[in-house]
Structure 1
Amino acid sequence: MSLTPPGSSRPTRRAVLGGAAAATFALAATAAGAGTATAHTRPGRPESSVRPAWPAEFALPDGFRPEGIAIGGGPYAYMGSLADGSVRRADLRTGESRTVLAGATGGAATGLKLDRDGLLYISGGLSASIRVLDTRTNRLTATYRPSTAGFVNDVILYGDRAWFTNSHAPVIYTVPRGHGGGGDVREVPLGGDWEQGPAGTISANGIETTPDGRALIVVNSPAGKLFRVDPRTGHATVITLRGADGVVNGDGLLRVGRTLYVVQNRLNVITVFDLDPRARTATLRRSITDPRFDVPTTAARLGDRLYLVNARFTTPPTPETTYNAVAVELR
């Protein structure tokens, strides 16, 4: 997510950094579907279509300030609040939603990813926290506090860990996945071609995996660039864009096979790229726009639809400000 206007400068498993990490990551990422690119009616049961009668737009509570969205079993979508860190679950068949995690003063819920075991990994924004919610009991199972302060922005599930971007510092965080995960948050500094903006501004934003399951993809919002990041070393390499000058205001990323969807929030567009298997190049395929877009930040897929939340960053947030989620067809 981005709060700055366009053009502004705004016990541990050894497999994480060990020599066998790449193979472990690739196999586990393939088995896990590389994050939440494929939705499920319940763990392991893919949902292939959305019925036309399901709403393509539904309201969220006034003042909610949605930022992240994840889709899992049910079919349900989970949406996080930038205002207080609360999380709501919406039934996509009806659009009705309810709170499953209460908010708190100073809290935030930005990026969300739902694992097949029902655990929801939550980025904490300026609260600089990482939380794990068991969606089957609606209880927090873990809370992490990285030592490097910043803005914990987005998350992807990769290998046996969850990986998070920090928009205010050149570092990515990683915590264990699973109910018995435990352990501490680990930090991997970003290097190589990475471009960090001035202190206190948004740089790293959305995060995904490469098609070959061997690396991460991170978007740098103000630079308008995509980077391929080695999770073992943090070495970042610029991904060559073909047919596009850049992805300024790039926010949420979603990969489905070799197709990468980049949500460019304040531009009100989803830019669609074809990736090569290693994500060294990204070739522009098309752009998706919709008059209902009002600064969408992140996207999640169910069948032939992408669901997005409208963060409305260009509208002053008040307790009475209205918010919603919308869906667009991929066909």
Structure 2
Amino acid sequence: MTQRSFARRRLIGAAAAVGGAALLAPLGGTAAAAQPTGSPWPAGFPLPDGFRPEGITIGSEPYAYVGSIAHGAVLRVSLATGRGRIVVPGLGPDHPVIGLKTDSRGRLFLCGGVSREIRIADVRTGRITKTFTVGTDRTMVNDVILTPGAAWFTDSFHPQLYRLALGRDGEPGDEVTTLPLSGDWAQGPALTANGITPTPDGRALLVVNSFVNGGGLMRVDPDTGVARAVDLGPTRLPNGDGLLLLGRTLHAVQNRQNAIDVLELDDAGTRGTAITRITAPDRFRVPTTAAVWQDRIYLPNARFDVAQPTPETDYDVVSVERVRDAGA
């Protein structure tokens, strides 16, 4: 795609995103259109044709980093302008990027999907500084979260997490350890574990399990791997994907449902109550993960409903207004 066509699609995509309204559906109530924030920044932006996004992360500056399933590149996009450029070159279709997170020192932690790779990249140079190969046959390194002492990665096809220790300044260690999951965890016949985030009190991990009890969350002890099902009442997450925790408010993306389920958690992450569902019928096209900047949540449209993506398939990132709670 030429720079001219990319710029043209950027303007068209931004205009369409501003024009579309997200719907907040309170429990027992009627969906109401979310009010625009009045920001001059675009509410969304296109990605290069054929990019095939899945993960998104935003750090301490207003730039989104989006990974490519198609070729493993990472695109950095200014939230203020919607303009972007590749900052980490792709290694090819056998080395995709699924989930990713950035830290405050210019590192990107990349999930390599079925390549079984965990990669660390320097956004300033574009270099891959470390690569780890984990798991066994059929491993899929799906999502990642950074905690004060470690980076944690999910494996969608095996009941285990991967832990990469982080030093005092966040520098990654030289070894990845495997944490087997037990307790209430049960592995489904297909993709099971997906998004991951700490509990509000930071003492445990929450992991999407798309199989147990029709889909939900598991609270995992990071020392033992013992998992306990989180009580979400009647809420189910059969298509649960990325998780975004803001205070005690959890935004759980349900990709093929084209929705974000918003739940209020207790501090320990043992219980959650659904407070609303966000939909955007004119803009959501199978969103997968979420990242926040100020009052907006940004989501890439992965378009997993397209059976055979081509180099001409169009993709974009859209945003909706965040839902706040007293602890956010």
Structure 1-normalised TM-score? 0.81
- The one of 252, 258, 262 equivalent to 1:268 is 258
Per-residue deviation, 1:210: 0.3
Asked whether the equivalents of residues 74 and 91 of structure 1 are also in contact (C-alpha less than 8 Å), the reply is no
Which whole-Å deviations, capped at 9, do the CAs of 1:18-50 have from their partners, x for residues lacking one?
xxxxxxxxxxxxxxxxxxxxxxxxxxxxxxxx8
Per-residue deviation, 1:180: 4.3
Is 1:308 aligned with 2:299?
yes
**Aligned residue number for residue 59 of structure 1:** 46
In 1: Cα distance, 2:305 partner to 2:128 partner: 32
Write the letter of the residue equivalent to 1:221: S
Is 1:87 aligned with 2:71?
no
Task: State how 1:151-300 maps to structure 2 within 5 Å.
Answer: 151-177=140-166, 180-198=171-189, 201-222=190-211, 223-242=214-233, 244-291=234-281, 292-300=283-291
Which whole-Å deviations, capped at 9, do the CAs of 1:284-311 have from their partners, x for residues lacking one?
1101111200000000000000000000
Count residues in correspondence. Answer: 279
Task: State how 1:20-35 maps to structure 2 within 5 Å.
Answer: none
Per-residue deviation, 1:135: 1.6
Q: Computing the radius of gyration over CA atoms, which structure comes out larger, 1 or 2?
A: 2
In 1: Cα distance, 2:120 partner to 2:158 partner: 22
- Structure 2 gaps of 5+ residues are 1-36, 324-328
CA RMSD of aligned residues (A): 1.4
Task: State how 1:35-114 maps to structure 2 within 5 Å.
Answer: 52-103=39-90, 104-114=92-102
Write the letter of the residue equivalent to 1:63: G
Which whole-Å deviations, capped at 9, do the CAs of 1:77-108 have from their partners, x for residues lacking one?
00001112111000111111111111113111
Which whole-Å deviations, capped at 9, do the CAs of 1:211-263 have from their partners, x for residues lacking one?
11100000012441100000111100000013x33111000001001000100
Structure 2-normalised TM-score? 0.82
Per-residue deviation, 1:119: 1.1
Write the letter of the residue equivalent to 2:316: N
Per-residue deviation, 1:148: 3.0
In 1: Cα distance, 2:80 partner to 2:182 partner: 44
Task: State how 1:113-152 maps to structure 2 within 5 Å.
Answer: 113-149=101-137, 150-152=139-141
In 1: Cα distance, 2:197 partner to 2:302 partner: 20
**Which SS does the other structure have where 1:184 is aligned?**
strand
Write the letter of the residue equivalent to 1:279: G
**Which SS does the other structure have where 1:297 is aligned?**
coil
- The one of 311, 317, 325 equivalent to 2:309 is 317
In 2: Cα distance, 1:219 partner to 1:147 partner: 19
**Which SS does the other structure have where 1:266 is aligned?**
helix
Identical amino acids, percent of aligned pairs: 53
Write the letter of the residue equivalent to 1:196: Q
Structure 1: 4+ residue segments shifted above 6 A: none
Asked whether the equivalents of residues 88 and 123 of structure 2 are also in contact (C-alpha less than 8 Å), the reply is no
Per-residue deviation, 1:158: 1.4
In 1: Cα distance, 2:239 partner to 2:279 partner: 15
Asked whether the equivalents of residues 68 and 109 of structure 1 are also in contact (C-alpha less than 8 Å), the reply is yes
Write the letter of the residue equivalent to 2:319: A
In 2: Cα distance, 1:86 partner to 1:210 partner: 30
In 1: Cα distance, 2:290 partner to 2:127 partner: 25
Asked whether the equivalents of residues 63 and 319 of structure 1 are also in contact (C-alpha less than 8 Å), the reply is yes
Per-residue deviation, 1:51: 6.8
In 1: Cα distance, 2:193 partner to 2:202 partner: 20
